[in-house]
Amino acid sequence: MLPLEDVAGRLREWATEGELPVVDKRVVHKHQQGNVFVSRAEAIDDDNIIGQLALNSEHPFFFEHPLDHYPGLMLVEAGRQFGTTVAHQIYGVPYDTVFILNGMKVDFTTFAELGKPVFVNSTVSEKQFKRGMLTHMLYEGNFVQNDESIGYMSGRWHIYSRKVMERMRRAAMKDRG
């Protein structure tokens, strides 16, 4: 991941823009647009990506009781969505693929304050490709607010075509009897 000072200027630019864009629900594998928490992703180079989250403090699930900060679980879902966005928008993974998150680590160091933009400073490593398509990656990054890291999240992803996934599921069901 790039040092925060190397990307902070770009993040500040986004923070001053008007209406916050939100990616289409199919990019993050959601059925309802209101459950999308990613605004944008931008590649700095082949491995380093920055982005902005679109967190909604009126979301009926994550704010079903009064809170004075964005809940950690909402940030975890936003981080998962951002990894999916990176695979599709930066690495060209087709939208009809299946993502399997095999491992995840999350560590928060402070609260994500309401009403202030939250960004992601991330990197992708351990990339594997099959027939030109990304099939595996280690995705890790920091959640950033007020020019400071407020938490870290990483995930190990495997990416399969629907056909391969269906074959794997049939084999698993057969093995169970």
Q: Is the pLDDT of residue 166 over 90?
A: no
Q: What is the mean pLDDT of the chain?
A: 94
Domain that holds residue 38: 4-176
Q: What is the pLDDT averaged over residues 114-123?
A: 97
b or e along 9-31 (b: 16 or more beta carbons within 10 Å of the residue's beta carbon)?
eebeebeeeeeeebbeeebbbbe
- 42-65 pLDDT, tens per residue? 999 999 999 999 999 999 999 988
Q: Is the pLDDT of residue 177 over 70?
A: no
Q: What is the pLDDT averaged over residues 24-45?
A: 97
Predicted TM-score (pTM) of the model is 0.93
Question: Domain count of the chain?
Answer: 1
CATH number at residue 76: 3.10.129.10
